Structure 1
């Protein structure tokens, strides 16, 4: 019996090749897209899951309340973690991690390592990063101890054993001993570094006394709690702990810290303090995956039930021959499962082919290969069987319910309910497709809005080079002035988009009092403001004509002026300030400019002349022969800073890097939207073909009676186009709501205008009309004699 079912199923598939192709192709594309999205979502949701003690690891973060605002820091003060370990028996271990660029040398090999970090000795006790060589309890105990990843070990030592070998750090070539080699940290880990240096190197040698500082925030910190510890109960004890250890200093500085504990597994997707993931994007892609699979299943149901009249006689004969309804249901569900299993096999091949491209689009190694996690293949197989069962149930019930007497007499016709169902499913398909078109337009408008918005400064043709405090930086700046294509050079602590420190500040407010605030701070030189063409709102810029500008002058932005109660920039000029050991007056106010991502509001910013803190070179170059200019800059670099590797970035690339996550999201959104539309069109093509075939004789009669080709195309198209119009009115409000919620993550966002919906509606109509017209025009051009003979 089952052998006969298989024979019948494959004969039916082969007999109707076009419908079989559309069904299998739609399911294959849908399942492939769904599987790739599943890999992405699974990757995002399993960040830090490799840590077996993840349920006991918490990140320590801080709310810092000042008279002006509440600052949300992504870490505690340096002194907090070691003192928590001493104070609370619930804390088993702590790790502070400070990511820093480091100049590393070994003989002629030298790299400015961007993926390096200082870490406390308990690092390998807290995190499950496997050491390949070395004792996890000792490798980070001593000053100038280093642990390399496998990749870094090969880079510096090749095939030789690195343990016990020496590397030179910083400009001074300070020797450090390699104590261990660790496996490369997982891609979906928040803590990532190729080089770990013992924290005692930083707190004991480079910056002595750092362990005792309660007002300095410069590292991430994680604590490992003992088993069965209640994290909320511990968090409730932290206010008293801070008051006991640092209460007097807080009163004096008027800055009050509140410590909070974030579960490790929630930091990446849910934290608002430096968690680089976005749970909303995970939700969106999960919904898109469901929609794409739903569209593919709708195609299957639509095409199968539409073809029910062709199989009516087969059902009638089978029933007369003694087949019962359960047998027929099993047969038709079996055919559905067979189609899905064929799609499953094709999905494996297509997913394997597309995975490298998908990894590239996602900007991360979502999966090394589709067979790297075999349980996922098993899940895909079960999903294929489930889709076959669920998608096949309704067509099986419809086909098995035909009455043999009626169908064998030839009086069978599809019912109104079946027709309404097919129309409803088409509406559902195109509602999803139109919503995705609207979403894609809004996502790309937001990306273009961020790129094209006036940032308040000039970032064009600007090269950024990090000197990392090299003693030759001033000589390098002077040497660049001799290059004709170099227009201007400036040294500073930060450039827009590169990050900057915050400083404890006291600024005279409108009442005449010194108001405490934690303000963003740029150390600059006299050439910085002119180079970036930052506009003045009041007062003056730094000038070499005023000797006190190097020690007693500050410039702030318009947002800072408002923070201290001034109604105009002019009112702030001449007011007093105290900041990091400096005292003086505000000499000028600059207009607000976007020195951070457009996802964030402009923050209060201060600028001071501080040559010792200016390690970043900004070089404005002419737009002519850029390669020659870069070669000339490299030559000056090597002659003035020979021990430092030459590396540069263009500021516009550096600034745009802030939006890479959104760009990747936009590209993925676009690709999956196109897939959804493609699958919808496949289904529409199949239905149009079937509808045309059903009306072959009618078309022949109309042509004989003088109907034109356009009138026949209109006849066959208008019913489907009506469904697309209905879909638009369903999709538009839903898309507006969800995309409005998505845009809320951006401080500066594009408006959602009416023409977006108009474009999406017209695009859907054009796509549908193009799809339908292929069959409609073909039918309209067919010889009517041939059409009339077809029945």
Structure 2
């Protein structure tokens, strides 16, 4: 029996090649999309699930939102370690950014060859209680307990020594040497931790101002993290800061999707992206399944006589349903095979798109899930066509009077309306996303990104000096370098330091203002727009920060926003005035005002900035921004690398164009936009297939009407418009559904940006018009074929 079903199915596929190919194509595209997105979602949701007691581990964050900033994930480890005094806290672990301290050196030498220890962090000895580490050699706990000790990842050990058997080897640095005491396997990709090397770091309990550590706490099973965070906030932040800064606990398992701070160890994902992709994937499968229903029903007329003959020969309805379900399952299985081939072909490109290393393991729970979905799609998508076709009356079919069911027409039309709504919404979202990205890329940042080469993570003592250091002199002597500017802040990341200003009129600002320590000629070097006063200049030695009698006196250049916050509508009037920070005893004399400068990413950019000449508070590293001749860029980079190694023993430096750094800030949003564009294209394509199926069904039902109209003199174009009219009405209904929902969803996404475009009416009109035109062309192509058929061929049996 099953062999008979199989042979019948193959014969049917052969006779209806177009129908078969379109069904397999639609289902395979939907399944391939679902597999890729499910793989991505599974990976995103698996982050840090392998860590010990992951469900009870939280990372400490500090909420500065009441002061106009944002939540940062770093804290003072010594402060955090005191939390073990509470019964709700079982253990505290610290991972310290050595780039923010002077505790460790990243530039080392081995056998007279220089290396930079990539992603170097200091860790407390209990690291293995919080991170699932695979130690390949040595003792990790001992390494993190012994001064001068270093633990290398496998890849770093191979890069530097060429082997993992390196316990006891030493690496020289300016302040002494490191001894390798442990080697651990590289961390998996599905973790927010991103260190490659670990070093012993001593924490000074008396230094409570240094926020340089990621602090993790494992709470007791019944602990209340919200109540504990509130208790710690009241303990840690009192006096003037009481109620202004708060402690937050962020669950370890959620960090990858919720953490957005510029201080993250590596770029995280986005829950919104996972939800959008998963939702679109499910919709694509549903659309593909309903397309299968529509197209199968549309082709049912060609199977009617077959059903009539089978029923006349004694076939039961159950046997016919089984036959057509078997055909549906065969189509679904062939689609699955095609989808898996597509997945393997597309996976490298998809990995590049989502910036992950995804692999499909078919003989796993994931593979079993794929098979389950395929079986469900095959049965559910084939059930209605099977019941529909098998219900044909043998008598009426064989007598030439075919009665087709019409009770489910509203279902098919509802589906097409949903498809068109989705297509319209996605087209609107895609165009708006592209407009927003274009807007962000063209924003006036207040500084120039062109012709600026950034040399990052340079020790402060090497460059942050009143008189040009040996390194700065060497860099400015390079052919093609026009200017060297020193700052202590990464312009495209975030502010490192803040002050609490008291304005010249004696009023307190009531909040904190971001500050950037810089060298001389910062206006010229960064390409700032000066609107009042002057640039920092060596001709005015008083510009450089000096400390006397417990008070720091420094020159400052402020942005237009700061001048207006201070109460000066004419910003030139604040030049020469003094802004004070009474907490740190800093007197800042305003020497110039510049147009607003946007520091950070598009969502969290700061524009109320104060530049302080020669003022560097706690930051151990700085950046040198070189104004260069781009035609000589390759040679300049090579000479910069050589200068850093020879003058300051700095190896493998981070050197990037400032324009590239800013472009990287927008990479995540570009990725989201591209994903939406892909799904938009797929949704529109599958909508065309759905329209094709329903239009085929409608055209077959109205063949006699078309023939009569043609006999009476109707033109082809009038017949095409007549058949297309009901579909265009469905598009209008789709517009009514799509517009309000899309406006709300897109508006919610745009609200994440400080600078954003408005939702334009022309975008909505283009989306609706595009779907209407595509629908008309799809229906018109079928209507044209029907209108071109000779009426005698249709009416000859009447």
* TM-score using structure 1 length: 0.89
Q: Which residue of 2 aligns with 1:266?
A: 254
Farther off after superposition, 31-40 or 428-437: 428-437
User: Could you say which residue in structure 2 is the equivalent of 1:741?
Assistant: 748
The structure 1 residue matched to 2:347, chosen from 311, 331, 355, is 355
Deviations 1:280-305 (A, max 9, x none): 22221121111111110110111112
Q: Which residue does 2:307 correspond to in 1?
A: 315
Alignment match, 2:486: 491
Aligned in 2, Cα 1:111/1:674: closer, same or farther, shift over 3 Å? farther
For 1:121-520, list aligned pairs within 5 A.
121-159=125-163, 161-169=165-173, 172=174, 174-200=176-202, 203=203, 209=204, 211-232=205-226, 234-235=228-229, 237-239=231-233, 241-242=235-236, 250-251=238-239, 257-271=245-259, 273=261, 276-365=268-357, 367=358, 369-371=359-361, 374-466=364-456, 468-469=458-459, 473=463, 474-483=469-478, 485-503=480-498, 505-509=499-503, 512-513=506-507, 517-520=511-514
Asked if the contact 1:507–1:575 (Cα under 8 Å) also holds between the matched residues in 2, the reply is: no
Give how far 1:658 is off.
Answer: 1.3
Cα distance change of structure 1 residues 195 and 580 upon mapping to structure 2, 3 Å threshold: farther
Tell me, in whole angstroms, the C-alpha distance in 2 between the residues paired with 1:496 and 1:510.
28
Q: Is the Cα contact below 8 Å between 1:146 and 1:195 reproduced in 2?
A: yes
Alignment-derived partner of residue 206 in structure 1: none
Q: CA deviation at 1:16?
A: 0.9
The CA distance in 2 between the partners of 1:575 and 1:409, in whole Å, is 101
Change (3 A) 1:373 1:548: farther
Provide the rounded CA distance (Å) in 2 between the counterparts of 1:389 and 1:572.
76
Structure 1 residue 538: deviation in Å?
A: 4.1
Aligned pairs (5 A) from 1:688-707: 688=695
Q: What residue number does 1:35 align with?
A: 35
| 1:663-691 residue CA offsets vs partner (Å, 9 max, x unmatched) | 11111111122122222223334444565
| Distance in 1 between residues matched to 2:62 and 2:52, nearest whole Å | 26
Using a 3 Å threshold, how does the CA distance of structure 1 residues 236 and 157 change in structure 2: closer, same or farther?
Answer: same
Consecutive unaligned residues in structure 2, runs of 5 or more = 100-105, 464-468, 546-552
Task: Answer with 179-188 or 550-559: which moved more.
Answer: 550-559
Is the 1:112–1:644 Cα contact (8 Å) retained in structure 2?
Answer: yes
Q: Residue 549 of structure 1 corresponds to which residue in structure 2?
A: 543
When residues 373 and 693 of structure 1 are mapped into structure 2, their CA distance, relative to the original with a 3 A threshold, is same
SS of the counterpart of 1:345?
helix
Long gaps (5+) in structure 1: 204-208
CA distance in 2, matches of 1:125, 1:776: 70
Deviations 1:552-586 (A, max 9, x none): 22233344445556655456541232375643433
CA 1:240–1:154 in structure 2 vs 1: closer, same or farther (change >3 Å)? same
Deviation at 1:380, TM superposition (A): 0.5
**Of 674-683 and 414-423, the range deviating more from structure 2:** 414-423
Is 1:619 aligned with 2:626?
yes
User: Higher mean Cα deviation, 581-590 or 45-54?
Assistant: 581-590
Instruction: Call closer, same or farther: CA 1:156–1:88 in 2, change over 3 Å.
Output: same
1:583 corresponds, among 584, 587, 606, to 587
Residue by residue over 1:144-202, the C-alpha shift from the partner in whole angstroms, topping out at 9 and shown as x without a partner, is 22222221111112135122212234xx16311112122211212111111111232xx
Supply the distance in 2 between the matched residues of 1:163 and 1:471 (Cα, whole angstroms): 32
Counterpart CA distance in 1 for 2:436 and 2:65 is 33
Q: Distance in 1 between matches of 2:588 and 2:740?
A: 56
Q: Deviations over 1:728-787 (max 9, x none)?
A: 332222211211111122121111010001111222233334444554555666778888
CA contact (8 A) 2:485 2:526 kept: no
Q: Check conservation: 2:137, 2:182, Cα contact below 8 A.
A: yes
Q: Which residue of 1 aligns with 2:53?
A: 53
Q: What is the CA RMSD across the aligned residues, in angstroms?
A: 3.2
In structure 1, what is the Cα distance between the partners aligned to 2:605 and 2:626? 27
1:76 aligns with 2:64: no
Cα contact 2:503–2:580 (8 A) shared by 1: no
Distance 1:26 1:224 in 2: 49
Q: 1:150 to 1:778 in 2, by over 3 A?
A: farther
Q: Secondary structure at the match of 1:417?
A: coil
- How far is the alpha carbon of 1:462 from its aligned partner? 0.7
Residues 471, 540 of structure 1: alpha-carbon distance in 2 compared, 3 angstrom cutoff = closer
Q: Which residue of 1 aligns with 2:110?
A: 106
Counterpart in 2 of 1:754? 761
Task: Give, in whole Å, the separation in 1 of the partners of 2:362 and 2:522.
Answer: 51
Note closer, same or farther for the CA distance 1:662–1:272 as it changes in structure 2 (3 Å cut).
closer
Could you tell me how far 1:651 is from its partner in structure 2?
0.2
Higher deviation after alignment, 305-314 or 605-614: 605-614
State the alpha-carbon separation in 2 of the partners of residues 467 and 17 from structure 1: 63
> Taking structure 1 as reference, are residues 639 and 238 closer, same or farther at Cα in structure 2, changes over 3 Å only?
closer
Mean alpha-carbon deviation: is it higher for 744-753 or for 573-582? 573-582
- Give the paired residue count: 770
Query: Which residue of structure 2 lines up, in the alignment, with residue 19 of structure 1?
Result: 19
